[in-house]
Amino acid sequence: MIGAYKHIIWDWNGTLFNDVSLCVSIVNQLLIARKLPPLSVEKYKEIFTFPVKNYYITAGFNFDHESFEVVGKEWMDEYERRKLECGLAAGATDLLNIIASKKIDQSILSAYAQHTLNDVVETFSLTKYFSYLLGLDNIYASSKVHLGKQLIEKLELEKGEALLLGDTVHDFDVAQEIGADCILLASGHQNRKNLEQCGAPVFDSILDLLHNINGKQQ
């Protein structure tokens, strides 16, 4: 499965980095401050989408009364303050090591801001695994398609030579746009029901994916 590819492209938030609970906690803090009902984790994973502005609207924010930019910055400031409450997804380092042992290059393609992506990946001592760390130049998580296209051009890869591992429908859409195959993980920011609509393989978690890989190697 993994060994057939020349390059593995990882999403960061919700895929390698287990930050779903923190994200729900912060958005609920903002909702409650506006006297709006908070979200359960299940509801969050049902409505989360890209661009994130649309998810905020579904959650109840009214951008006729305040700007998305202000709310987005308030959310991100709190996320940055608390991000190290989170850890890596279970099995993440094991899978990174398996891929590295096969001499397959890896990169991160993220909607996270570039400078903070660099910092947090280094904090977890993961920089050594990756050829490229690509994040957005802003905090508003709109789309990373253009970054994906740039990466494929840099790597000079043909269609189907890269595999993208992500946790959202947007990751699947990016994979389609850049000519990569895609595996989705339901342990991140969107639920299995939403992910299965893409038609790509969906696993419950990295541990589930590892179990599948190990089973096929035996």
DSSP at 13: B
pLDDT digits (tens, 9 = 90+) for 118-152: 999 999 999 999 999 999 875 444 568 888 999 99
> Please, what sign has the CA dihedral across residues 52, 36, 73, 122?
negative
Token digits of residue 179: 């000519």
Average pLDDT over residues 108-119: 91
pLDDT of the residue at 187: 98
Which CATH code fits 7-19+87-217?
3.40.50.1000
CA distance 73 to 39: 20
CA-CA distances (angstroms) from residue 202 to 68, 78, 103, 181?
32, 31, 25, 12
pLDDT digits (tens, 9 = 90+) for 23-67: 999 999 999 999 999 999 999 999 999 889 999 999 999 999 999
Sketch the domain layout of the chain as residue ranges.
Answer: 7-19+87-217, 20-85
Average pLDDT over residues 101-130: 95
List the single range of 8-12, 70-74, 110-114 with lowest mean pLDDT: 110-114
pLDDT of the residue at 65: 93
- 195 touches 186 (CB < 8 A): yes
CB neighbour list of residue 156: distance below 8 Å, 6 or more residues apart:
none
pLDDT digits (tens, 9 = 90+) for 161-206: 999 999 999 999 999 999 999 999 999 999 999 999 999 999 999 9
Average pLDDT over residues 12-32: 98
Q: 65, 79, 198, 183: which is closest to 140 by C-alpha?
A: 79
- 184 touches 166 (CB < 8 A): yes
pLDDT of the residue at 140: 47
CA-CA distances (angstroms) from residue 127 to 9, 87, 93, 200?
14, 15, 12, 28
Provide the terminal-to-terminal Cα distance of the chain, rounded to the nearest Å: 13
